[in-house]
Amino acid sequence: MSTHNLEDMGCGTSSVKDTRSEQVLKAALVIQNWYRGYSTRLKARQRYALTIFQSIEYADEQGQLQLSNFFSFMLENYAHIHEKDPEIVARLFGSTLQDYKDRQDYVAFVDVPNSYNGPRLQFPLTFTDIDLLVDAFKQQQILHARYVLEVLFETKKVLKQMPNFTHVKTSPSKEITICGDLHGKLDDLLLIFYKNGLPSGSNSYIFNGDFVDRGRNSIEILMILFVSFLVYPNDLHLNRGNHEDFMMNLRYGFTKEILCKYKIHGKQILQILEDVYTWLPIGTIIDNEILVIHGGISESTDLNLLHRVERHKMKSVLMPPTPLDGDPDTNVKKKKFNATIVPGEVKTSASHSEQLTKHEWEQVIDILWSDPRGKRGCYPNTSRGGGCYFGPDITSKVLNRYQLKMLIRSHECKPEGYEICHDGKVITIFSASNYYEEGSNRGAYIKLSSGMAPRFFQYQVTRTTCLRPLYQRVNAIESSAIRILRERIIARKTDLIHAFQLQDRSKSGKLSMSQWAFSMENTLGLNLPWRSLSSRLVTTDTNGDINYMSSFQDIHIQKPVKELPHWAEREPMGRKTGAIVCRGDEKVRAERREAQSTLIETLYRYRSDLQIIFNVIDSDHSGLISVEEFRSMWKLFNSHYNIHIDDFQIDELAERMDLNKDGSIDFNEFLKAFHVVHKLDKLNKSGSGLA
Partner 1 sequence: MADDKEREGPDITVAEFHKKIKDAFEVFDHEANNTVDVREIGTIIRSLGCCPSEGELHDLIAEVEEEEPTGYIRFEKFLPVMTEILLERRYRPIPEDILLRAFEVLDPSKRGFLLKEELIKYMTEEGEPFSQEEMEEMLSAAIDPESNSVHYKDYIAMMVIDES
C-beta neighbour count of 398 within 10 angstroms: 23
568 binds partner 1 (CB under 8 A): no
Of the candidate residues 62, 501, 503, 611, the single one contacting partner 1 (CB under 8 A): 503
What number of residues does the chain have? 691
In the complex with partner 1, the residue whose CB is nearer, 201 or 529, is: 529
In the complex with partner 1, the residue whose CB is nearer, 487 or 545, is: 545
Of the candidate residues 12, 380, 424, 469, the single one contacting partner 1 (CB under 8 A): 469
Determine whether 359 is an active site residue: no
Q: Under rule CB under 8 A, which residues in 374-433 are in contact with partner 1?
A: 374-375, 419, 421
* In the complex, minimum distance from the CB of residue 41 to partner 1, in angstroms, rounded to a whole number: 6
181 forms beta bridges with: 430
In the complex with partner 1, the residue whose CB is nearer, 10 or 417, is: 10
Instruction: Judge whether 520 and 530 are in contact, CB under 8 Å.
Output: yes
Q: Report how far residue 83's alpha carbon sits from residue 89's, in angstroms, rounded to the nearest whole number.
A: 9
Pattern 508-527, partner 1, x by CB under 8 A: x-xxxxxx-x---------x
* Binding segment toward partner 1, per CB under 8 A, in 5-13, 191-199, 432-440, 665-673: 5-13
Instruction: Judge whether 265 and 110 are in contact, CB under 8 Å.
Output: yes
Q: For residues 194-204, b (16+ Cβ closer than 10 Å) or e, as one string? A: eebebbeeebb
* In the complex, minimum distance from the CB of residue 59 to partner 1, in angstroms, rounded to a whole number: 16
Q: Of 196, 184, 178, nearest to 239 (Cα)?
A: 178
In the complex with partner 1, the residue whose CB is nearer, 140 or 535, is: 535
* In the complex, minimum distance from the CB of residue 441 to partner 1, in angstroms, rounded to a whole number: 13
44 binds partner 1 (CB under 8 A): yes
Of the candidate residues 27, 568, 680, 683, the single one contacting partner 1 (CB under 8 A): 27
C-beta neighbour count of 378 within 10 angstroms: 22
Instruction: Judge whether 121 and 151 are in contact, CB under 8 Å.
Output: yes
34 binds partner 1 (CB under 8 A): yes
* Binding segment toward partner 1, per CB under 8 A, in 9-17, 296-304, 569-577, 680-688: 9-17
531 binds partner 1 (CB under 8 A): yes
Q: Report how far residue 531's alpha carbon sits from residue 358's, in angstroms, rounded to the nearest whole number.
A: 43
Q: For residues 446-457, b (16+ Cβ closer than 10 Å) or e, as one string? A: bebbbeeebebe
The one-letter code for the residue type at 466 is C
SS3 content of the chain, % helix, strand, coil (to 5): 50, 10, 40
* In the complex, minimum distance from the CB of residue 53 to partner 1, in angstroms, rounded to a whole number: 12
Q: Of 434, 529, 419, nearest to 473 (Cα)?
A: 434
* In the complex, minimum distance from the CB of residue 376 to partner 1, in angstroms, rounded to a whole number: 9
* Binding segment toward partner 1, per CB under 8 A, in 6-14, 72-80, 602-610, 635-643: 6-14
Contacts of 576 (CB under 8 A, 6+ apart): none
11 binds partner 1 (CB under 8 A): yes
Instruction: Judge whether 439 and 464 are in contact, CB under 8 Å.
Output: no
41 binds partner 1 (CB under 8 A): yes
Half-sphere exposure of 477 (CA within 13 A, CB side): 28
In the complex with partner 1, the residue whose CB is nearer, 509 or 560, is: 509
* Binding segment toward partner 1, per CB under 8 A, in 79-87, 327-335, 344-352, 470-478: 470-478
The one-letter code for the residue type at 429 is I
Of the candidate residues 304, 464, 506, 642, the single one contacting partner 1 (CB under 8 A): 506
* In the complex, minimum distance from the CB of residue 389 to partner 1, in angstroms, rounded to a whole number: 8
Long-range contacts of 509-512 (CB under 8 A, 24+ apart): 509/547, 509/548, 509/549, 510/541, 510/545, 510/546, 510/547, 510/548, 511/545, 511/546, 511/548, 512/544, 512/545, 512/546
* Binding segment toward partner 1, per CB under 8 A, in 180-188, 235-243, 333-341, 543-551: 543-551
Query: DSSP string spanning 651-677?
Result: HHHHHHH-TTSSSEEEHHHHHHT-EEE
Instruction: Judge whether 322 and 93 are in contact, CB under 8 Å.
Output: yes
* Binding segment toward partner 1, per CB under 8 A, in 39-47, 167-175, 206-214, 360-368: 39-47
Of the candidate residues 304, 543, 577, 686, the single one contacting partner 1 (CB under 8 A): 543
In the complex with partner 1, the residue whose CB is nearer, 43 or 308, is: 43
* In the complex, minimum distance from the CB of residue 485 to partner 1, in angstroms, rounded to a whole number: 14
Residue 176, φ and ψ in degrees, nearest 5: -125, 145
* Binding segment toward partner 1, per CB under 8 A, in 45-53, 164-172, 299-307, 681-689: 45-53
* In the complex, minimum distance from the CB of residue 554 to partner 1, in angstroms, rounded to a whole number: 18
* In the complex, minimum distance from the CB of residue 469 to partner 1, in angstroms, rounded to a whole number: 4
How far separated are the first and last CA of the chain, in Å rounded?
41
- SS3 (DSSP) at 298: coil
* In the complex, minimum distance from the CB of residue 510 to partner 1, in angstroms, rounded to a whole number: 4
339 binds partner 1 (CB under 8 A): no
467 binds partner 1 (CB under 8 A): yes
Of the candidate residues 7, 12, 17, 33, the single one contacting partner 1 (CB under 8 A): 33
Of the candidate residues 284, 433, 475, 480, the single one contacting partner 1 (CB under 8 A): 475
* In the complex, minimum distance from the CB of residue 481 to partner 1, in angstroms, rounded to a whole number: 12
Gyration radius of the chain over CA positions: 29
* Binding segment toward partner 1, per CB under 8 A, in 37-45, 353-361, 560-568, 616-624: 37-45
The one-letter code for the residue type at 467 is L
Q: Which of 144, 243, 411, 422 is catalytic?
A: 243
Half-sphere exposure of 335 (CA within 13 A, CB side): 4
Q: For residues 641-663, b (16+ Cβ closer than 10 Å) or e, as one string? A: beeebeeebbeebbeebbeeeee
502 binds partner 1 (CB under 8 A): no
550 binds partner 1 (CB under 8 A): no
36 binds partner 1 (CB under 8 A): yes
Of the candidate residues 58, 361, 530, 630, the single one contacting partner 1 (CB under 8 A): 530
Instruction: Judge whether 412 and 428 are in contact, CB under 8 Å.
Output: yes
Interface residues with partner 1 (CB under 8 A) are: 3-4, 6, 9-11, 23-41, 43-45, 47-48, 51, 372-375, 419, 421, 467-472, 475, 503-506, 508, 510-515, 517, 527, 529-532, 543-545
Q: Supply the residues annotated as catalytic.
A: 243
